[in-house]
Amino acid sequence: MTAAAVPAASPASTGEAAGVRLARSRRNAELSLLLLAMVLVAAYAATVEANVLDTVTPDFWMPAAALGLVFLGLHLVIRWLAPFADPALLPAVALLNGIGVGFLRRYDLAKAVPADRETLAIFAGTGGRQLAWTLGAVILAAGLLAIMRDHRSLSRYAYTLGLAGIVLVMIPAVLPARFSEINNAKLWIRIGGFSIQPGEFAKLALLAFFAYYLVRKREVLSLASRRVLGIDFPRGRDLGPVLVVWIISLLVLVFEKDLGTSLLYFGMFVVTLYIATERVSWLLIGLILFFGGAYLAYLLGSTVGGPFLNFYDRAQIWLDPFAEPYDRGYQIVQGLLTLGTGGLFGAGPGGGQPTLLPEVQTDFIFAGIGEEIGLFGLSALLVVYLLVVERGLRAALAVRDSFGKLLAGGLAFTLGLQVFVIVGGISKLIPLTGQTTPFLSAGGSSLMANWLLIAVLLRVSDGARRPMTGGGPAARPSGGAPEQLHGAQTEVIRP
């Protein structure tokens, strides 16, 4: 009597089972980190109430719980639609978003009459509105994950997105000041009590177009004409795309009156170009063009005036804000004093005086938080931002198609550059800009755009980490011929 033979498991089924276990372990790690982030947000809220109210109210935990439910919903969407996505992205961004909501709640308490602080509704004021914006932004991110099952599908609409991005950039510049200008920067569309910052969404659309364009043209742009000091410089006739984006960025600088937005657009194109071609010369050319253009605008502002005058005034304030500490330099002086007051360890959550700092809920929220958590706390926040950028760059390195590499690398760099621009402006490293601190500042435009950015990174990382089994999206990109990019086997998207 012979024993029945046990059928061997097929390699495909074994690989699929391993993939399921891997996805489950990553999502469980994400859930654990997300719960830890919400515990930290709740602890921050309790400390704020202890310092501001001298007591901790029974419902201090409600904002953290509300945020936790919102992020848990997104976690379930990721578990279903992007099971192999990076497990560190959502918890890191949720922590930043939660700290932002907590500080805005703290700002509401500071503005309230002392007798009414204990009864101030949890979902009232700026903090309550930010909670609502967070819900909308997370729903938008979940919707994008549901619609965009493969990041390469964006390449089909590259030119449409590029045109939409240019239109979104131009609208505030051509509108009358009463419909577009806030704090001397024309970055908004204002209709009645509603306002939106279209540039926040334009950067995503333009980056998708840049990635597609550079995948198609990178071989031409990689050609060198001469070698200087060990650096290969491109041919003169290949400078056209950079010059076009440079001119657009200068027009943004002059007519929208904002250095940060101009630097953001030009910087993300040049870095995406560098990622595509691996030519250091493009970075040098980009730096020379941008700083040369900014200096030219400064000289024209001092001599001609007109549309260049605003940038000249901002540069003068940056060079010596203490020349007029109670007038033009008041905001940046107060920001520097606020950071100095915080010192190394800060006054503690709820121990500062945020009402003395202009625009503390938007442009200067990083300084307001710094007064209360100090240099060490701000360094920790910057490390969280650095973690998000690093995970985005890791997704760019791991994904197997050129479009995904340029898209994820550009998005990660853009987020890091935006943080640099706002922190540099507050700390007087560069002239003050109108950019908001991602995930911390009050407002819906920035929050929604940056959550969409995170959704794209999640989708790219899911494609990069998905096992090469079966015919899934990551198994083999559709269309095109294989090529090499940074030593990895990739494929060009040719819809």
Per-residue model confidence as pLDDT tens digits over 48-58: 999 999 999 99
pLDDT at 310 over 90: no
pLDDT in tens, 69-87: 999 999 999 999 999 999 9
Q: Which pLDDT belongs to residue 374? A: 96
| Whether pLDDT at 474 is above 80 | no
How confident is residue 186, by pLDDT bands cut at 50, 70 and 90?
confident
Give pTM, 2 decimals.
0.90
CB 259 within 8 A of CB 294: yes
Amino acid 482: pLDDT: 34
What backbone phi and psi angles, to 5 degrees, belong to 171? -55, -50
Give the pLDDT mean for 305-317: 85
Q: H helices within 347-401, ranges in order?
A: 365-398
Q: Which residue has the higher pLDDT, 431 or 232?
A: 431
CA distance 134 to 94: 10
Confidence category of residue 23, pLDDT binned at 50, 70, 90 = confident
pLDDT for residue 14 is more than 90: no
pLDDT of residue 352: 93
pLDDT band at 11, cuts 50/70/90? low
The domain spans of the chain are: 151-319
Of the ranges 224-233, 237-246, 486-495, the best mean pLDDT one: 237-246
Average pLDDT over residues 166-186: 85
Predicted confidence at residue 386, as pLDDT, reads 97
Lowest mean pLDDT among 41-50, 236-245, 304-313, 471-480: 471-480
β-pairing verdict for 224-228 and 231-234: antiparallel
Task: Supply the mean pLDDT for the chain.
Answer: 86
The region that residue 8 occupies, defined by phi over 0 for left and psi between -120 and 50 for alpha, beta otherwise, is beta
